[in-house]
Structure 1
Amino acid sequence: MNDLQKVFQQACAKGFNEYSKAVFDQLSRCHTAKMGYHRLKCDDATCRNEQFQYHSCGNRHCPNCGGLKREQWIENRMSELLPTPYYHLVFTLPHEFNPLIMRNRKALFKLLFDAASQTILNHGRMKNYLGADCGITMVLHTWGQKLDFHPHVHCIVTGGGFDGHKWVEAKGTKDNFLFPESSLGKMYKAIFLKRIQKMDLQTQGLDLGKIVNQVDKKRWNVYAKAPFGGPNQVVEYLGRYSHKIAITKHRIVSVTDTHVNFRYKDYADGDTIKVIPLLRGEFLQRFEMHILPKRFTKIRHYGFMQNHGKRTRLQQIRHCLKLTPVTEIVQVPVAIRMLEKYGKDIFKCPCCTHGRLRIINTVRYFKSKSQEIKEIEKIINAKNKASPFG
């Protein structure tokens, strides 16, 4: 167990809700004997080396997990790319909404997706822009560099659309932007404020009318970047943002008995990299703000990329563009993925280097404390002969 996992372990004793406690518990047990393990043995008769492969938690908030899932997801999206420009838009919310969102995360995260996607689709359907449905992939992020609460959605938008019969290229894109930022901001604001006032929300201690009045006087900015340079840049973006979490282990500088110290980029100071020290309790509180509601989908698709009927639409579009049909999605096994990406054969015996490691026993979880103690004792005894694997 690393130092950060020990910090997560402390969360179970704090006043978080039961779901957040369960998430912290999983993160604290990731890649340890408490998560379960495979016991492997070399099949070479002269070696017979034994090793243990500790299971990962697989939680989407874990700083140690998700890399291979991200690679598979990116490959699946690569097969859907089209020979058209792709644009990057970011929709944020005024900070005055933060207390309200914290009380209504699921409902207002969904409203953020709905308002942003409807704004893009409405602009795309205007005859002077596309007159068709563009393809949109949206990713929810809830954090700033200091782990503060900053909900926003990153959007990848195609520079063309499908009207149900033919592919339509974007018209008159000005200064390399698909739609005017000012127009996007005004429509996004109008849609969000109209819908939020009709919702049944938890508003204990908050005045929704006052909040709406405050943000209605502000200009809502939509950040529109220039188009990506090509498919490779789109894939690179997806790799960085699709499965990104609030903080990765690479940003952690040190963990002391009292503080967690991590790097952040100070945008107000020329993107200077600095280190911020947070008390362990404060670090956990900030991390918990970014635990998504249970089963909430943080990556969503709209327009011709929406999931229902997507494959049929993509085949029609590719036919219009005289492209080869969409290829079948292939699920690459973990062992092959590790070999391709890291050159590591996870089943080659590191002792004799020619034998193959075979799974001879699997413990998936511990049903009781006594079972946990017994299994850990077995591991400790076995470690006298073998080193941990994985």
Structure 2
Amino acid sequence: MGVIKKIFKENWNEFTILYSDKIRKTIFKEVEKMLECGSLEKGFIEFKCEACGEIKRVGFRCKSRFCTSCGKIRCDDWAEEMTGRLINVVHRHMVFTIPKELRKIFAEKRELLCLIPQCAAKAVISYFKDRNKKESFTPGIVSVIHTFGRDLKWNPHVHMLVTEGGEGNVTIFKKMNYISYEALRKRWQKLLLDELELKMINKKKWFRELKNKIYKNTKEGFYVYAKGIVKTAEAALKYVGRYAARPAIAESRIIKYDGKKVTFYYERHEDGKRVEETLDVIDFIGKLIRHIPEKGFKMIRYYGIYAKSKKHRERFFKLMREAILETKRKLRKWKYRILKYFGVDALECDKCGAQMRFYDIVYEGESIREKLRKKILDDNKRKLEELMHTYGVIKGLIHDKMEPLYI
């Protein structure tokens, strides 16, 4: 059992008693799924060794974004799929941030989080289009919303992978080496503040005053900066694996848990220095669950060339060939994952070393093998009765189906 799952198993009930009225429905569902992840009581797949009869049972996974185990698998799968969509050009990794004064708004109105990638994408796309009004170049953008900082505090921002150039009305693709981050910052600031003002239906006066204050006094907060250049499929995969829809904290960052306190570390953004922080376990749980998104909310979004509606996306060469992508898809099975990360063949019989084979699926206490066996027997029984009836009619053995014979 992972340390995060252990923390929740031992303290979730106490947390719900203290804060039940403040916990969103989505959080209850995601935590419940995470706690039941891999439990044999909820169902399992059964493998059997044909050589010695040994049985191995593997519990179903929860597939929750909050689960550190399933979240990592989800992240890896998405990373490979997304890398297969990227076109074969240089990409830049950009980060768009907001000032502290606005963070509380997004915490209280989580549906507004969609404005962050939307406005950031508008800032980038409008910048590219303004470079040449005739061509109106459109870049490709993949955006990932993060609500957490390295210290787990509420800090909404967006990571973007942006093509270094764009598709024009005439030119297929124009490379653009120079991008002004200061120009992007000003566009980003104006677009987001204007959109937020439109959404503040009952607080327009309050927000207008806050908006003016931000323009006047806030010199920091609306940052747009580059975190690197992505040139190859391997670099893109590494980028996405690190910044995509991952859990707020990795198990490896938790140093100690003693039942009452949790100690974890993070690297401070300003200077890269390692910082260790100790929290009461209830506070730690609170910091984690606030980053669980609402059901159906998309944390990853595509714009420009990468938008689904873009007609000409297929005419570009891809960063990763389809054959390589298909091979990676085949290797996603849990057996190969375990072999990759731990060097262990999960289907090797512990008793005799032979390969185990799939035998059964048990869901909610019901064996699918037994269910199918009964169905086959019932179907065969019906077919047998129908055949016997037909045979009887043909041979004149069933009298009520035959015409009487008079001599």
User: TM > 0.5 between the two?
Assistant: yes
Q: How does 1:194-209 map to 2 (within 5 A)?
A: 194-200=194-200, 207-209=206-208
Distance 1:122 1:307, change over 3 A: same
Correspondence for 1:299: 300
Output the CA distance in 1 between the equivalents of 2:94 and 2:101.
22
Correspondence for 1:245: 247
CA contact (8 A) 2:143 2:158 kept: yes
The alignment's TM-score, normalised by the length of structure 1, stands at: 0.81
Deviations 1:247-277 (A, max 9, x none): 1111111212211111111234x32223211
Output the CA distance in 1 between the equivalents of 2:98 and 2:167.
30
Output the CA distance in 2 between the equivalents of 1:182 and 1:121.
15
Shift of 1:136: 0.4
Q: Secondary structure at the match of 2:76?
A: helix
Shift of 1:35: 4.2
Output the CA distance in 2 between the equivalents of 1:271 and 1:253.
18
Amino acid aligned to 2:24: N
Amino acid aligned to 2:233: P
Correspondence for 1:125: 129
CA contact (8 A) 1:59 1:65 kept: yes
Amino acid aligned to 1:356: M
The alignment's TM-score, normalised by the length of structure 2, stands at: 0.77
Shift of 1:166: 3.5
CA contact (8 A) 1:97 1:211 kept: no
Correspondence for 1:228: 230
Output the CA distance in 2 between the equivalents of 1:325 and 1:3.
38
Distance 1:33 1:213, change over 3 A: farther
CA contact (8 A) 2:36 2:62 kept: yes
Distance 1:2 1:337, change over 3 A: closer
Number of aligned residue pairs: 351
Correspondence for 1:58: 63
Output the CA distance in 2 between the equivalents of 1:345 and 1:192.
51
Q: Secondary structure at the match of 2:358?
A: strand
Shift of 1:351: 2.1
Amino acid aligned to 1:199: K
Task: Determine if the alignment matches structure 1 residue 141 to structure 2 residue 146.
Answer: yes
Amino acid aligned to 2:174: E
Correspondence for 1:100: 105
Shift of 1:102: 1.0
Amino acid aligned to 1:289: R
CA contact (8 A) 2:265 2:274 kept: yes
More helix by share: 2
Task: Determine if the alignment matches structure 1 residue 24 to structure 2 residue 45.
Answer: no
Q: How does 1:27-106 map to 2 (within 5 A)?
A: 27-44=34-51, 47-106=52-111
Distance 1:324 1:298, change over 3 A: closer
Amino acid aligned to 2:182: S
Correspondence for 2:189: 189
Amino acid aligned to 1:187: R
Distance 1:356 1:261, change over 3 A: same
Shift of 1:53: 1.1
CA contact (8 A) 2:49 2:354 kept: no
**Runs ≥4 residues deviating over 6 A:** 323-329
Unmatched segments (≥5 aa) in structure 2: 367-407
Amino acid aligned to 2:224: V
RMSD: 2.9
Output the CA distance in 2 between the equivalents of 1:325 and 1:36.
37
Output the CA distance in 2 between the equivalents of 1:324 and 1:226.
20
Q: How does 1:143-158 map to 2 (within 5 A)?
A: 143-158=148-163
Correspondence for 2:384: none
Deviations 1:23-59 (A, max 9, x none): 1222222223354322332222xx1112221222110
Amino acid aligned to 1:232: E
Q: Secondary structure at the match of 1:234?
A: helix
Which of these two proteins has the greater Rg computed from alpha carbons?
2
Distance 1:244 1:146, change over 3 A: same
Output the CA distance in 2 between the equivalents of 1:164 and 1:34.
58
CA contact (8 A) 1:143 1:290 kept: yes
Output the CA distance in 2 between the equivalents of 1:209 and 1:34.
55
Deviations 1:123-162 (A, max 9, x none): 1112359841110000111111111011110001011211
Deviates more, 1:144-153 or 1:7-16: 7-16
Shift of 1:201: 6.1
Distance 1:360 1:336, change over 3 A: closer
CA contact (8 A) 2:262 2:279 kept: yes
Distance 1:40 1:225, change over 3 A: closer
Correspondence for 1:360: 360
Correspondence for 2:278: 277
Output the CA distance in 1 between the equivalents of 2:44 and 2:119.
44
Output the CA distance in 1 between the equivalents of 2:120 and 2:2.
39
